[in-house]
Chains A and B, each alone.
Chain A
């Protein structure tokens, strides 16, 4: 037993060492900073307790714009890309001529760096020179100035995120679909079940474990999205599309208040850890019940 324990520890030592040095230590340093009066231009580093946390939690910007934005973005992005990804995976699971072509087109977004995709989409939605407005004008619809209003900006960001991440869902769900055993489907066909019933009562329940992992991983990542929001809108117009990562970044690096930024980051970390544990538990139960 003792030897076994030592062997287990030896196996994780390299990973744990890197993890502690480059994640645990920086996070603790940041958490330490969040309890102090630590602005970058005047680092007094005096202990102020929970004052920074209180300030962030009292900030109307944080409560009424940042949190709803973050959660709305997370739910909408994961739901849309899951549905689209599932549809595409089902489509690619069939055999039809030109399947490889569709597959390689669908995988294109995975090969583009998110920041470059975001710059491109921002330019496409530009109110004067963008191709989207040109197309709208061609169809006789009044062009919109997309990036100057809260909800249209939000929609553009959402569209970019869904565009970027649907292929990821499609790829993983397709792999899941192809690893399903064929017998239940044959049985269903012999019983003359309709396509919808086969999907609803056979494909979906058997695909659930894969979907749970996808949803959990993507929800966590969507919660801490930074790059595409920063590139497309910078949190604007007038901080109306700020998500929580942008809020922490702006507090720390633009208002140069490291302590307050760290406090915001720690609050966000606590929220997402609790949320992710709940999500994992709920989805896990869901899967076990459905078995």
Chain B
């Protein structure tokens, strides 16, 4: 018991010796430091984007600001098109990979045996393979399938990349759902 009683007094000593409310001040300083650390490059990025062409070299000096850069970028048709492409590809890739991996994650979560084990090891291994190992051959494959330079040629490899990671996460979520409801439904005659 004596050991227990001594411990809090000892741990409180360091900060209260520094200054009253030193702990709160220290915590606030740490919070501000963290904010600065993570926000600074982004802040700097925005600041640089607002400077005229010559101001880029001395972003920290001078006070002239301009929004010309934004006008110039947005007036180029290719940028708008690129934004649209990014939007389309990311949305479609996410939706399609979710559709494809929901079933595979469900399977990994609900079944045991050689087939789920084999599938999980396959996923784990292909998650490890570096991108460089298959980017160039991918070019030959998409050409062979006649989807080179199309949306599909960009989408399908994207989905392939997502499969490993998404299946793994999906498995975790399905593990969290109690299967007893499913058993009850099955007893009532629902199919799997």
Residue of A nearest to B45 (CB): A120
List B contacts of A166 (CB < 8 A): 38
Assess the B133–A262 pair: CB atoms within 8 A: yes
Q: Which of A21-29, A60-68, A142-150, A283-291 contacts B (4 or more CB under 8 A)?
A: A21-29
Assess the B130–A248 pair: CB atoms within 8 A: yes
Assess the A22–B45 pair: CB atoms within 8 A: no
User: B35 an interface residue at 8 Å Cβ cutoff?
Assistant: yes
Bound-state CA distance A194–B11 (Å) is 7
Chain B residues 131 to 147 lying within 8 A of chain A, measured CB to CB, are 131-138, 140-141, 145
- 8 Å CB contact of B103 from A5, A14, A105, A131: A14
Chain A residues 87 to 103 lying within 8 A of chain B, measured CB to CB, are 88, 91, 96, 98, 101-102
Known: A11-B104, A15-B101, A102-B31. A273 touches B132 (CB 8 A): no
Known: A7-B192, A19-B160, A108-B38. A131 touches B44 (CB 8 A): yes
Known: A11-B104, A102-B31, A252-B132. A22 touches B156 (CB 8 A): yes
Q: How far is the CB of A264 from chain B (nearest CB, A)?
A: 8
Chain A residues 124 to 150 lying within 8 A of chain B, measured CB to CB, are 124, 129, 131, 134
Q: How far is the CB of B128 from chain A (nearest CB, A)?
A: 5
Total interface residues in chain B, CB < 8 Å:
64
Bound-state CA distance A124–B43 (Å) is 12
List B contacts of A248 (CB < 8 A): 130, 132-133
Assess the A245–B157 pair: CB atoms within 8 A: no
Bound-state CA distance A272–B126 (Å) is 11
Assess the B128–A272 pair: CB atoms within 8 A: yes
Q: How far is the CB of A225 from chain B (nearest CB, A)?
A: 9
Assess the A21–B160 pair: CB atoms within 8 A: yes
Interface of B is mostly: helix
Residues 29-65 of chain B: 1 if any A CB is under 8 Å from the residue's CB, otherwise 0? 0110011011101101100100000001111100000
Residue of A nearest to B11 (CB): A194
Bound-state CA distance A273–B123 (Å) is 11
Known: A105-B39, A252-B136. A245 touches B130 (CB 8 A): yes
Assess the A131–B60 pair: CB atoms within 8 A: yes
Residue of A nearest to B172 (CB): A213
User: B106 an interface residue at 8 Å Cβ cutoff?
Assistant: yes
Assess the B42–A112 pair: CB atoms within 8 A: yes
Residue of A nearest to B116 (CB): A8
Bound-state CA distance A266–B164 (Å) is 19
Residues 215-226 of chain A: 1 if any B CB is under 8 Å from the residue's CB, otherwise 0? 001001001101
User: B89 an interface residue at 8 Å Cβ cutoff?
Assistant: no
Assess the A109–B34 pair: CB atoms within 8 A: no
Residue of B nearest to A251 (CB): B132
Bound-state CA distance A167–B111 (Å) is 34
Q: How far is the CB of A141 from chain B (nearest CB, A)?
A: 16
Known: A112-B42, A196-B11. A23 touches B101 (CB 8 A): no
Bound-state CA distance A117–B42 (Å) is 8
Bound-state CA distance A217–B116 (Å) is 20
A-B contact pairs, 26 of them (CB 8 A): A5-B115, A8-B116, A12-B103, A15-B100, A18-B100, A18-B156, A22-B141, A27-B137, A30-B133, A30-B134, A30-B137, A102-B31, A106-B35, A109-B42, A117-B41, A129-B59, A166-B38, A192-B5, A196-B11, A226-B131, A249-B132, A252-B132, A261-B136, A265-B132, A273-B128, A273-B129
